[in-house]
Each structure stands twice: as C-alpha cells, then as structure tokens.
Structure 1
Amino acid sequence: MEKWKGRVALVTGASSGIGAAICEDLVKHGMKVVGAARRIEKMQELGEKLKNEKGTFLPVQCDVTKDEDIYNLFDKIKETFGGVDVCVNNAGTLGYVLDLLKGTPEEWRQISNVNVIALCLCSKLTVNSLKERGLDDGHIINISSICGHQILVGSSRFYTGTKFAVRALSEGLRQELQAANSGIKISVVSPGLVKTEIVNQITENPEYAKQVFELNTSLKSEDIAQSVLDIIVAPRGSLKLDSK
C-alpha cells in the first residue's frame, strides 16, 4: 500500500454501506479519499470519525444521475488534489419494482443512469485525469454483483441487466486501454448478498429486509472493502477481470 499513500481515490455511493466501508479502509491506509453521494450529512459524520487517521476524507455532495454534478465533482477534485488516481464506482440502485412487466421507462432510466451511465462517465473522466497528469498507473474498480453473472430468481430484472452491462463495459474499457498500451488497471468486484440499506429500496416494510438477511447468508460491507483494498495493492498483472 506504500505506493498509494497520499494518492487520491474517488468513491461513489459513499454515504453508507459498501461505499462508506471502502472510504474508511482507504483513509486508514493513508489515501486522500473523496466520497461522493447525495447525503452529505452522512459523509460528514464519516469524516468526523476518520479525522485522526493516516489519510484524509473529503465529502462532496453529488447526484450521479446528473452529468453536471459529476463534472463538478471532478473539477473540485482537480482544484483540491490535482486529479483522481483510483476510482471506485460503487454507487448503485435496485429500483422499486422487481418485474420487467411492471416497470416503467422512468424507473429503468433512473437505474441505468446510476448503475451504467454514471459508472461510464466517472471511468472516462478518471482516465482523462490520469492522462492530463502524465500518469499511467491508475486503477478503476467497478462494484458489480453476482447478478451480473446469472439471473437469480426473485432478483430485480432490470438491475440484473445493468450489472451484466457493467461486466461488458468493464471488459470493453480494458480492451481500449490495452490497445492504447495503457497501464491503467480495470477490476470488477461481484459480491453476493451484502447487508446494506439497498434492500430497503424494494419495500416499505422494514421487516422484509430483516427477513432477507435472516434467511440468507450475507456478506458485510467490510468484506467488500477488504476485497477492494486487496485489488489495489495487488501487483500489476496479477488479477483477472472479475473478483467474485
């Protein structure tokens, strides 16, 4: 991790769950971490918790469904730290309707904007940031899902489609960078069920989420954060595309 101390990491969806856990781990290992999410107060609380750690944490309010918010986010990072070295595309949404036949175009666009479009734009701007500074050792890590590998019974169908897209887009970007002889790395983490707030998106019944986690083995946010840390510190060329 010595190489990354003092370097800049952007983590989207940083206000809770996996994103907050990733931010915490990277700050504790000496990185300058920028957390991006809509709930600024949650990130400010995290910042207070991390203020005496080796690295630093800068919370930035950002709605990743809005292009201008993402562009402003990268402008602020450039102004404050120079640019982004590591981008963790963690922001994601399940949507409120599981079935395609009950979904609406508005809902599908919302899910796609978060899970696909924002991920692509943040990745592109990270690559641009690295190139502008003459750096060739950055890393983009996309947080996908086991739903990006198989269509699970009872899963959100459109969400599943976006996670399949994340795998395809990650491989496509890897091929583009390879063709350009770039040293920027692309990795994908595909967790199974993780105990986070995201399940609450599909129900107004708090008991439902509780039952989901009681009836199924689930991971903790800290487990995914550890996987991301392992990926970042792994030697060049030592990882396959997908880390499940």
Structure 2
Amino acid sequence: MERWAGRVALVTGASSGVGAETAKVLAENGMCVIGCGRNVTSIQELADKLKSSSSKGVLHPVKCDLRSEKQILDMFEEIKSKHGGVDVCVNSAGLSHVAPLLSGETEKWREIIDVNVMALCICTREAFKQMRERNVDDGHIIHINSTSGHRVAMGDYDLNLYVGTKHMVTGLTEGLRQELRGLKSHIRVTAISPGNVNTMFANRMYGDEIAEKMKSEYKLLESSDIADMVKYVLQSPPHVQIHDLIVRPIEQET
C-alpha cells in the first residue's frame, strides 16, 4: 500500500458496514480518505477514533445524500478544492427494500436504482474527470457489487429489483473497463461481489428479529473481510486488472 500513501480515496456509504470498514482500513494504511454518507455523525466518530489511534492516514467525513446529483457534484467540488481530487473511488453504498417486481412501490424502486446504479455512475464519472484533469493514470475505481449481480436466488422475490441493479453493476464494470481501455488509460476498475455479510442490510429490510434469525444460520462474512479485498485489489501490481472478485461465506449455498 506504500504507493497509495497520502493519496485521496472516496468511499461512499462510509457510515456503516463495508463502507465504514473500508474507510478505516484505507486511512490506517496512509490514505487521505473522504467518507461520505447521510449519517455523518457516525463517520465523524470513526474519524475521531482513527485520529486518537495515531492512524497513518486521515478520514474526512462529508455529508452527502447519494440520491441527489447536486449533493454528489458539490461533494466532488469540495474534494477538489480541499484535497486536489480523487485517486481511488470505492462505490460502497447500496440498499434494498422489500419491493417485489409485481407489487413493489415505485418510490422504493426509485431509491434502490438511484443509490445502487445512478449514484455509482455519477461518482465514477466525476472521479474519472478528476483523475484525467490531474493526469492521474494509475487511479482505481472499485464497485462493491454482490453475488446477486451474478445469479437470481429462487424464491427470494423481495430482492428482485435489488438483484436487477446488481446485475447492472456487473455490466457497468465491464463497460467501464472497455471505455478506459479505448482511451488507452491505465486507470483500473474492479468489482467485488460479496455474499452474505454481517451488516445492518437485512435489519433495515426486514427488522431485527427476522434479520438476526437469518444471520444465525451460518457464519457470515464480516465487513473487514470485504475491506481486506479492497486492500488486496489496491496492492496488486499496476499492470494487473482484477476484474471481479466473488467472495462467499463457505457455507452459503448460492
């Protein structure tokens, strides 16, 4: 990670789960991390802990609602004015609702698409712009995808729109790789596709009782496991394109 020391990473969804753990790991390894989320208080608490632990890097909290393009653009302007620009963009934010395709509410569908797809695309575009403006040719864009971007689980109808958005992330990752290659850019793109992770994702969808029962079925991945994958990807040699990492709990069926 030495070559990333002092460089700027944006991590979306940094208020909890995989985003928070990724922001922590990158800061501990010397990066200047911009952690964004709607709950900026929890990001500030993490930043304070890192500061008191003498972390090699630093975490800067930024409040940003990724459903708003204006707030995303304002955030990138703030990053540019204060830190020069983004070198690494980790699109970690993601959500779902109970919203089947035949009976889901339009507003819930819209929020899933806005966060999982539109925000990812806007952040990717703006990060790339900042890299090109500064002649950064070794930047890295990382999408936190899902095993749901590679299969459709039978019978789990509540997640069907979420699955659709994650399949789109799979396609967007390859499309982005091709566009970067067409520009003869050495900026890399990687998707990391976790299986079931021990976060609040299911709690927010189904409530604590159902979620905790689901989590007790077998040992889930931890957020730190996925943050380790982000670190692994960034440590790979500049000529190596890690396209998609699928990471499952060993007992997960699909």
TM-score class normalised by the smaller sequence: over 0.9
Alignment partner for residue 211 of structure 1, among 207, 210, 213?
Answer: 213
Structure 2 counterpart of 1:34, one-letter code: I
Quote the Cα distance in structure 2 between the aligned partners of 1:18 and 1:46: 13
Quote the Cα distance in structure 1 between the aligned partners of 2:164 and 2:204: 17
Q: Segments of 4+ in structure 1 off by > 4 A?
A: none
Partner of 1:228: 230
Partner of 2:161: 158
Does residue 79 in structure 1 map to residue 81 in structure 2? yes
Does residue 175 in structure 1 map to residue 178 in structure 2? yes
Partner of 2:24: 24
Structure 1 counterpart of 2:90, one-letter code: V
Residue ranges of structure 1 left out of the alignment (5+ in a row):
none
| Identity in percent | 44
Q: After superposition, what is the alpha-carbon deviation per residue over 1:3-54, rounded to whole angstroms, capped at 9, x for unaligned?
A: 1000000000000110010011000100000000000111111011111210
Quote the Cα distance in structure 2 between the aligned partners of 1:57 and 1:227: 19
SS at structure 1 position matched to 2:238 = coil
Where do residues 35-184 of structure 1 align in structure 2 (5 Å cutoff)? 35-51=35-51, 52-97=54-99, 99-153=100-154, 154=156, 156-184=159-187
Structure 2 counterpart of 1:22, one-letter code: T
Q: CA deviation at 1:238?
A: 2.5
Q: How many residue pairs end up in the alignment?
A: 242
Quote the Cα distance in structure 2 between the aligned partners of 1:183 and 1:64: 27
Quote the Cα distance in structure 2 between the aligned partners of 1:238 and 1:218: 29
Q: Provide the aligned C-alpha RMSD in A.
A: 1.0
Partner of 2:10: 10
Quote the Cα distance in structure 2 between the aligned partners of 1:129 and 1:200: 36
Partner of 1:194: 197
Quote the Cα distance in structure 2 between the aligned partners of 1:211 and 1:4: 40
Q: TM-score, normalised by structure 1?
A: 0.97
Q: After superposition, what is the alpha-carbon deviation per residue over 1:131-179, rounded to whole angstroms, capped at 9, x for unaligned?
A: 1111111000000000000001326000000000001011101100100
Q: CA deviation at 1:102?
A: 1.6
Residue ranges of structure 2 left out of the alignment (5+ in a row):
247-254
Q: CA deviation at 1:236?
A: 2.2
Structure 2 counterpart of 1:210, one-letter code: E
Q: Does structure 2 conserve the Cα–Cα contact (< 8 Å) formed by 1:96 and 1:201?
A: no
Q: CA deviation at 1:91?
A: 0.4
